[in-house]
Structure 1
Amino acid sequence: MKYNYHVPVSTYSRSLQYMPTDHAATHCTPSHCTPTHNASSHTSTTKYTPAQHNTTRIPSYSKVSQYSSTQRTQTAVQPAPVIPVTPAKRTVHFPNDIIFQDNVRRGDTEQIGRFIRARKVRVDTLFHSGMAALHEAVLTGNLEVVKLLVKYGADVHQRDEDGWTPLHMACSDGYPEIARYLLSKGARTEAENESGEKPAELIDPDCKELVKLFEAI
């Protein structure tokens, strides 16, 4: 039994063996416990003394020790602002010959005259297409540009890389008005290209106007 109730109360005393270090169980012997009727006069004998208990508790975890000043400095440093870089604009510059060729193909008579007067180009220059400005103008069928180029010194006898004259092209592509104008400027009907063809031999039989033009010569 945990307590012996047959023992008189006056002979009851309590002896507590408390070991806080290893948490040992309390041994109570009823024959040695002597309680009194006044609770304030009750005393208990124990082996637990204040000297055995250190009231100052040192925690094993310290935020200050684990968080160094270097880490605080790194946290406080703000990242440098990112400044967007605007790429430089590129300007493409085309050679004057290419610009002049484009003006001829578009029929821009104002720019054609401006380029020639400023001596930015020569009207007899062969472009990368293998043709001169007058050949390009004939292929577009623009009689006004043809007349302008001839006015500024374009040669009606000039040949392209395949030996074609402007009259060859006018006959091959079916432009009777341009062919008539070139003939009026002295274009030769007997001129042969590298394949030995004359302008009249390149005329489409269905182009009656050109056929009649050359029959009358």
Structure 2
Amino acid sequence: MKYSYQNLVSQYTRPSTYTPTHYTPTHYTPKQYSTSSYSTSYYSPEKYTPTYYTPPAYTSAYKSTSSSYKPVYNKASQYVSNQSTPVHQTSVVTRKPARTVRFTNDVIFQDHVRHGDLEMVGRFMRARKVRVDTIFHSGMAALHEAVLAGNLECVKLLIKYGADVHQRDEDGWTPLHMACSDGYPEIAKYLLSLGASTEAENANGEKPADLIDPDCKELVKLFEVGCG
């Protein structure tokens, strides 16, 4: 081995000439301290008399100077003051106008007929906004709608403005078919008085009398069927 720790330790010897010397402290004796030479002299402070500040007398010159003083604010100070004071801002919400739904004259006219609004029905007829024989989306004409509503006065008004008592709907029903089916003897009687056909057949081959409810005695008597 390159290094031998045993040889290194054996070669090291402490010097024999070293003799430890014990330190013997010298105790402090208070007798050695003499206070005879020390004389205490008490401090007698003089009473402090404060000198009060006497401001100069108020002069008219100072008054004139102070009255002419006008504070000048720079832009920075104004900006800070504006920021320090909250300002309530009202947000403006722009709303889009409501979408207007427009209905055709036929739809409006059909609604007036269903509700029996004779005044509006007459206005539409006089203004010729619609044709009285128009077939609505319901598959019926205005006269059919009036019969289904059971409004005899509306039926008369439509016929006055040219409605045909023989007009058929999409299923081949005449106004008399509907009057018999829904049990309106007064309307059926009025239509018959205007020459409505009792032999007209609908798409199913049914005549108006075939649609009469046997319990409706007025219609049964009117068509003279089922009597007994």
TM-score, with structure 1 as normaliser: 0.65
Q: Say whether 1:38 aligns with 2:41.
A: yes
TM-superposed deviation, 1:102 = 1.1
Give the letter aligned to residue 91 of structure 2: I
| Range with bigger deviation, 164-173 or 117-126 | 117-126
Indicate whether 1:99 and 2:108 are aligned. Answer: yes
Of residues 68, 78, 93 in structure 2, which corresponds to 1:85? 93
Deviation of residue 159 (structure 1)? 1.1
User: 5 Å matches for 1:198-209?
Assistant: 198-209=207-218
Secondary structure in structure 1 of the residue aligned to 2:106: helix
Structure number, greater radius of gyration? 2
- The gaps in structure 1 that reach 5 residues or longer are 12-34, 41-68
- Identity across matched positions, percent: 70
Q: Does residue 1:134 correspond to 2:143, yes or no?
A: yes
Change (3 A) 1:89 1:5: farther
Count of equivalent residues? 161
1:93 positional shift: 2.3
Deviation at 1:10, TM superposition (A): 5.0
Of 73-82 and 189-198, the range deviating more from structure 2: 73-82
The alignment yields a C-alpha RMSD, in angstroms, of 2.7
Report the counterpart of residue 156 of structure 1 in structure 2.
165
Tell me what 1:112 maps to: 121
Q: 1:10 to 1:73 in 2, by over 3 A?
A: farther
Question: What per-residue deviation string (whole Å, max 9, x for no partner) do you get for residues 152-171 of structure 1?
Answer: 01111111111111000000
The structural deviation recorded for 1:91 is 3.4
> What's the secondary structure of 1:122's corresponding residue?
coil
Task: Specify the SS of the correspondent of 2:114.
Answer: helix
**TM, length-normalised to structure 2:** 0.62
Q: Quote the offset at 1:83 in angstroms.
A: 2.4
Deviation at residue 85 of structure 1 after TM alignment: 2.2
- What stretches of structure 2 of length at least 5 have no aligned partner? 1-27, 44-76
**Structure 1, residues 153-209: CA drift from partner, whole Å, max 9, x if none?**
111111111111100000000111101111111211111111111101000111111
